[in-house]
Structure 1
Amino acid sequence: MEVTNVMEYEAIAKQKLPKMVFDYYASGAEDQWTLKENREAFSRILFRPRILIDVSKIDMTTTVLGFKISMPIMIAPTAMQKMAHPDGEYATARAASAANTIMTLSSWATSSVEEVASTGPGIRFFQLYVYKDRNVVAQLVRRAERAGFKAIALTVDTPRLGRREADIKNRFVLPPFLTLKNFEGLDLGKMDKSNDSGLASYVAGQIDRSLSWKDVKWLQTITSMPILVKGVLTAEDARLAVQSGAAGIIVSNHGARQLDYVPATISALEEVVKAAQGRIPVFLDGGVRRGTDVFKALALGASGVFIGRPVVFSLAAEGEAGVRKVLQMLRDEFELTMALSGCTSLKDITRNHIITESDKYRTVSRL
């Protein structure tokens, strides 16, 4: 079957992957309300396309933290990619590099920062979980920096792991032939079989629940890499992120895997953008499956988006070729959306190109 859109990879991945692995990638927290809402909230935003504009040339290039990329679509950190395909993070890194965009490597990758760097040139960010042992954190950050990574995406919404019931039922554990490569050789306990989710037990043992804004400052003392704060959903925290010296914000609800009944990221985006006041860029992840979603995020003030599940599902289906295809499909759809909306560059995409639920009550005054 020819794959014609990003969503179709999920069904293929479901057929190919062991149940424990597919459920780990696909599921959300508790009732999975936010998981559904991350998608559905996009569908409630409509376009106000402008016509009779010369769209024969369209420029999708942008700059993220000073790095020029081909489009505002980047790869979010997703853990343990070798569960999806033997090439795992290597394939993802090569696909991102080929598309001339940014890949974010998870702390919990099944390939190390050095291994990913060895795949060749590319702009890469490193997602960081802060462990109780700060020496481990400092070491890891230094290794990422040495391996040529360009920024840290600090995940701030995981003092404890969300309740993912599929993982509890399946007693999720990393398959025996894989390891969390960035922590190999460090005495950090293994992700063992437990009566629960093995990952939840691992997090409870290793991740620092006392993480606070002062640690964002501490990170700046140990690295010159810019720090993106990933997991912001409110104006209050956006203002604190700016004050703490963050280089950017990623509006994220962790793919709906942490606290259920938080809003979809696309619904929280505008509040965060307004609070940041243009002082630092704001990005979004969660629920992006179409080029139209990318356009909607940019119209609401995002500087770019990150995709997570589409990467692991396409990786499971077709390896590196799958990830390349996902990036290409999103790129093509986004370009088409721009053309049909009357935008020839990213700066042309404005708030007036869309209508949201809240606008429906005040449409007339805005026109």
Structure 2
Amino acid sequence: MLSGSDVAAHSSRQSLWMIIHGKVYDLTEFAPSHPGGERILLKYAGKDATEEYDPIHPPGTIEGALSPDKHLGDVDLATLSDEQKPVEQPVVKAPTGEAPVTLGACLNLDDIERAAERLLKPKAWAYYRSAADDEKTYDWNREAFYSVRFRPRVMRDVTQVDLTTSLLGFESSLPVYVSPAAMGRLAHPDGEKCLARVAATHGIPYIVPIPSSPLFSPDARSDSSTRSQLYVNRDRRKSEEIMRAVANAGYKAICVTVDAPVAGKRERDERAKLDEEAVPVAHTGPDAPDAPQDESSQGIAQALGSYVDATLSWTDIPWIRQASGGLPVILKGISTAEDAALAAHHGASAIILSNHGGRQCEGAPSSLETLLEIRKFEPQVFDQLEVWVDGGYRRGTDILKALALGARAVGIGRPFMYSLAFGDAGVNKVATILRDELAQNTRLLGATKLDEIVPSMLNTRELEANLWNGPYESPVSKSLLAKL
């Protein structure tokens, strides 16, 4: 068994050892190609990096860098020096004199977000909250709801209300699903398992994210409503392996993210990484790295997106369906009527109108705007496939506005991730708040079931000012099919 001093002697580029879960690995050859950058490995060279490693890598898996041939043996943890031991990152505390954060004090999803900002570690908060560039699209997602007014109907018997719906053939108790947001274990050790457990309890779908997920955990796949997300890898064979495994594990659909050929510029995430790396790296030698500001920062999102295949095209949909054993294909990241029509033409079973929570293309439309654009230019799409949406939804009234415009379901991402600060109880709180708000406001609109939420219940004139008003020709019309 190795000692702490044995490991500490290998803390440079020339010889880089690291401790993960009591095992010592030689990462010397791997370090220059590490997707998250070499600097983070050098920071933990000769040390125990378990706490840094766990939230970002899938549990129960061995990454290529930690293959058996790189395993040098176990380490006696009792022999580690204080400098080698994991260091707890500081947690944001409530200001002096402010009441402590309690789940019971959270009355809505914004309350849960504010609580999470105070409870989560800075790196976790930065990753969840970050958006692209100046974060204007993130703001516009919320502002879009304020541009749409209701036209409630009255004098109707709304004693009973039915919020169930069918999503790709499976009943959901709400027109809501848990969006495939990654890195749940940055907030809670169980991460995605919490989300899967509570989603199953409430009878709503959960799209399990591939990055960092306990992909084949029984908790994550036991419910018939679970779907799996996929970012297509540049090495198509790896994607095929994942899709076969997803099908074998019993998932009911494959959700392909299509709006992230590269990761957006999420400066909040990058700054958190810079702050973390500002600590001097404990190694010496002529090849010691320059100061952190001389090396471009790479946040968690950039590191996770480094393997994505930028060549993905419409003609790949049959390959995805075949590789997944015929699972229904959901395309996440549609922002135009043209692409909605193309998705239907190429056989997608559902699309998710999404600007990635404002995290990808700054200036992309909100899902409400895209719903209006499809209704204007390609209304047949609503009959050809299921239209789901996400991005900035925080209230039951937000969800009802999307349903009135033709959406079948609404994805909730950040609020569920924030709620992980409270574990299962927090996730349950988010689902319960949405259920209660939906029931209350469905009645206030004068409806008793979801198909009674119709376009005439909305005034969208203000939001329509943002729609494309130039010439339009459908990309699936006969005159254009030959050009595809």
Give the TM-score normalised by structure 2: 0.68
Unaligned runs of 5+ in 1: 176-193, 362-367
Task: Give how far 1:227 is off.
Answer: 0.4
**Partners of 2:372 and 2:464 within 8 A in 1:** no
Q: How does 1:80-99 map to 2 (within 5 A)?
A: 80-99=183-202
Task: Give how far 1:173 is off.
Answer: 11
Distance in 2 between the 1:352 and 1:167 partners?
A: 41
2:148: which partner in 1? Answer: 45
1:5: which partner in 2? Answer: 108
Task: Give how far 1:122 is off.
Answer: 4.5
Distance in 2 between the 1:199 and 1:14 partners?
A: 18
Cα 1:271–1:359 shift into 2, 3 Å: closer
Distance in 2 between the 1:71 and 1:126 partners?
A: 19
Cα 1:319–1:172 shift into 2, 3 Å: farther
Task: Give how far 1:250 is off.
Answer: 0.3
Distance in 1 between the 2:359 and 2:220 partners?
A: 28
Cα 1:352–1:166 shift into 2, 3 Å: same
What SS does the aligned partner of 1:149 have? Answer: coil
| Residue 213 in structure 1 maps to residue 213 in structure 2 | no
Match of 2:151, as an amino acid?
R
Match of 1:285, as an amino acid?
D
Distance in 2 between the 1:201 and 1:246 partners?
A: 28
1:188: which partner in 2? Answer: none
| Residue 286 in structure 1 maps to residue 387 in structure 2 | no
Cα 1:79–1:117 shift into 2, 3 Å: closer
Q: How does 1:297-308 map to 2 (within 5 A)?
A: 297-308=402-413
**Partners of 1:100 and 1:122 within 8 A in 2:** no
Distance in 1 between the 2:275 and 2:204 partners?
A: 31
What SS does the aligned partner of 1:209 have? Answer: coil
What SS does the aligned partner of 1:57 have? Answer: coil
2:43: which partner in 1? Answer: none
The structure with more radius of gyration: 2
1:238 to 319, 340, 355: 340
Distance in 1 between the 2:299 and 2:106 partners?
A: 34
Cα 1:47–1:249 shift into 2, 3 Å: same
Cα 1:88–1:301 shift into 2, 3 Å: same
Distance in 1 between the 2:219 and 2:464 partners?
A: 47
Task: Give how far 1:174 is off.
Answer: 12
Match of 1:293, as an amino acid?
D
Distance in 1 between the 2:249 and 2:349 partners?
A: 20
Distance in 2 between the 1:360 and 1:132 partners?
A: 39
Q: How does 1:118-129 map to 2 (within 5 A)?
A: 120-129=222-231
Count of matched residue pairs = 341
1:68 to 123, 148, 171: 171
**Partners of 2:140 and 2:366 within 8 A in 1:** yes
- Alignment RMSD: 2.1
Unaligned runs of 5+ in 2: 1-101, 278-294, 466-484
Distance in 2 between the 1:337 and 1:150 partners?
A: 31
1:336: which partner in 2? Answer: 440
Match of 1:310, as an amino acid?
P
Task: Give how far 1:39 is off.
Answer: 0.7
Deviations 1:92-147 (CA, angstroms, capped at 9, x unpaired):
000100100000111113322345446x4341011100001111101111111111
- More RCO (CA 8 Å, sep 6+): 1
What SS does the aligned partner of 1:113 have? Answer: coil
Match of 2:458, as an amino acid?
I
Cα 1:98–1:172 shift into 2, 3 Å: farther
Distance in 1 between the 2:375 and 2:255 partners?
A: 18
Task: Give how far 1:41 is off.
Answer: 0.6
Distance in 1 between the 2:423 and 2:260 partners?
A: 29
What SS does the aligned partner of 1:284 have? Answer: strand
Cα 1:359–1:230 shift into 2, 3 Å: closer
1:171: which partner in 2? Answer: 273
Match of 2:370, as an amino acid?
A
1:183: which partner in 2? Answer: none
Cα 1:44–1:348 shift into 2, 3 Å: same
2:323: which partner in 1? Answer: 222
What SS does the aligned partner of 1:245 have? Answer: coil
